[in-house]
Each structure stands twice: as C-alpha cells, then as structure tokens.
Amino acid sequence: MPGSDRPVYLQLRDRIAAAILDGRYTDGAMLPSVRAFASEQGANPLTVAKAYQLFQEEGLVVVKRGVGMFVAEGATRKLLASERKAFLNDQWPQIRRVIDRLRIDPAELFERA
C-alpha cells in the first residue's frame, strides 16, 4: 500500500473488489472480519471498517448481525460492470495514448498476452 496516492481505505476496497472479481469471494460468501482482514493487510481496523462501509453503501455486501459480513447476491455482476466502466472511461484512454505515443502495434500486444 505504501507508494500509492490513493487513500489506504480505497486501496483496501480495491483489494477486496479484486478478490470478488477473481472468485475468491463469491456471491453469498462470508468476508473476513474487520480485525482479520486488518491483520492480514497490516492495516488499521478502522480503515478496513471504512472500506467495508463503502461496499455496504454500494449494496455489494450485507451484514448479518452477530454472524458477519457477506458478499451480496448479484454483487459480482454489479462490481464487474462498474469496474469495466471505470476502466474504459478512466484508465483505457491513458493507456491508449501511451500505445499511440510509442507506436505500438496492437497485434504486438496480443502476441505478448
């Protein structure tokens, strides 16, 4: 996490989102407790709680009182759609400019994939 301009809670949110998109946490799966995830990531539990709160506000996780926090049904699909949109709108234009500037043939990119 050090070396990034993004706030730590957003970096943690990105890691959880990646885990959901990668299938590590599927719809309905229980997420690690705030304390467990904080310990695993070397982060402050309050910072992890803030990241989890973002997911709650987005409707991507649900809290079952006394049990834990779970990935909401449909969260993977919703998260995939929002992450794709963010990539295509925010990151892809920058990547495309670099490709053009360096005169990289798109076929070369696919050969390396």
**According to the 3-state scheme, what is the secondary structure of 12-45?**
HHHHHHHHHHCCCCCCCCECCCHHHHHHHHCCCH
pTM over 0.85: no
- In angstroms, the CA 13 to CA 48 distance is 8
Residue 42 and residue 2: Cα distance in Å, rounded?
Answer: 11
User: pLDDT tens digits for 50-105?
Assistant: 999 999 999 999 999 999 999 999 999 999 999 999 999 999 999 999 999 999 99
Which residue, 35, 36, 69, 40, is CA-closest to 55? 69
